[in-house]
Amino acid sequence: MLCKKCMEELTSTNIYPSDHRYCIMCSTEHSTYLSERRQTLTSLREMNLESKIIQTKYLIRRAVMEFGLDKVYISYSGGKDSTVLSHIAKTMYPDILHLFANTTNEYPETIQHIKWEKEENGTNIIVVLPTDAKGNTWTFKKVVDTYGYPMYSKRVSNAIRTYQHALSERTKQNSQDYLDRNFKKYEKYKNLPISDKCCDKLKKEPLRRKAKELGLDCAILGILASESYQREKDWLEYGCNVFHERKDNQSRPLSFWNDEDILEYIDKYNVKIPRLYDMGYSRNGCMYCGFGVHLEPNGQNRYQRLKETHPVQYQYFISNFGNLMIDFEISVA
């Protein structure tokens, strides 16, 4: 086997003990690089709000300079982070294009907010509906019926889908080993209809297709590195602006912000966000999404909250997916 970085032959004397893909030298260099990046992230996070805004504007400007204003777009979800991003970007480029993927699984308050942004706040938004390459419309229900439910987490759903779709005995065994190693406690759900395809069908593919159709080259995203281990790891490797390095060009100019900065900005600049946040929700993601629901406190998980705040949508959820929730051992009442 060869080191993935320098391509030198890996032997028992030069292989890195905790990562067998690399030689000791490459791994050590990489760890030093990551620890420096970690320090950079800490310093960026220590800046005050005004300095963060300046840095964010600089990163947005870099994206516009690299690709041109007519080739970039704000990937807009209607949530508080992307609304702050939109607010900052619009102070620089009032007509900057926003793409909003309507997953058909949105809270009514999110849809109302998008309407307000578009019709009353003058935001240049295109609403992207989930259709595939042949023009067929997808809905959340159709995705669940066709592929399975997005449940527990993206990684768990992906591991289960991979296990279920293994074509040979060997890949089946590999995916079983992967489940055993990483997701032992989800093993019992491995034959239930669970899959991670939902985001691809309802969000990623339709957005990618629309961006291609409009000739757009770079998405500007309102994501924070603090949101998850995965996002932080990604920032350490790639930073905020990732141009010409991966399949899709991305600018993530809020990466080093935290939740408190977002709230401070909203308060200071009087930014309108969906009413949902006043109803006890801390996220505006998809209504029926199962990612992370098992980690929410019983009695106050998103479905139990939905029952109180959106009885009509809750009824639809129970009639269509109530039985699945019993299998997934998720409380809904």
Judged by the rule CB under 6 A, the positions of this chain that interact with ligand SF4 are 103, 105, 150, 198-199, 202-203, 285-286, 289, 291
Nearer to ligand SF4, 22 or 291 (CB): 291
Q: Answer positive or negative: Cα dihedral of 66, 70, 75, 77.
A: positive
As measured in angstroms, the least distance from the Cβ of 32 to Zn ion is 14
Residue 23 near which of ligand SF4, Zn ion, none (CB within 5-8 Å, type-dependent):
Zn ion
Under rule CB under 5 A, residue 231 binds Zn ion: no
Distance (Å, rounded) from C-alpha 199 to C-alpha 290?
A: 12
Strands 218-221 and 125-128: unpaired
Contact yes or no for 86/111 (Cβ under 8 A): no
CA-angle at 198, arms to 193 and 202, nearest 5°: 150
Q: From the list ligand SF4, Zn ion, none, pick the one residue 5 interacts with, judged by a Cβ distance below 5 to 8 Å according to partner type.
A: Zn ion
Residue 3 binding partner per list Zn ion, ligand SF4, none, with a CB distance cut-off of 5 to 8 Å that depends on partner kind: Zn ion
Q: How far is the CB of 97 from ligand SF4 (least distance, A)?
A: 21
199 vs 332, beta carbon nearer ligand SF4: 199
**Beta carbon of residue 232, minimum distance to Zn ion (angstroms, whole number):** 25
CB of 26 to Zn ion, least distance (A): 3
DSSP 3-state of 114: helix
Residue 118 partner contact from ligand SF4, Zn ion, none using kind-dependent CB cut-offs of 5 to 8 Å: none
Chosen from Zn ion, ligand SF4, none, partner binding at 285 (C-beta under 5 to 8 Å by type): ligand SF4
**Helix (H/G/I), strand (E/B), else coil: 125:** strand
Helices (H), 76-168: 80-92, 108-119, 140-146, 154-164
* 150/222 with CB nearer ligand SF4: 150
Q: In this structure, are residues 76 and 121 in contact, taking their beta carbons and an 8 Å threshold?
A: no
- The residue with tokens 């790891």 is 233
> Is the Cβ of residue 163 or residue 288 nearer to ligand SF4 in the bound state?
288
Query: What are the residues facing 23 on neighbouring strands?
Result: 15
The CA-based diameter of the chain, rounded to the nearest angstrom, is 66
Q: Which residue, 198 or 218, has its beta carbon nearer to ligand SF4?
A: 198
Min CB(14)–Zn ion separation in Å: 8
Angstrom distance (rounded) from CA 173 to CA 44: 44
Binding positions for Zn ion, rule: CB under 5 A? 3, 5-6, 23, 26
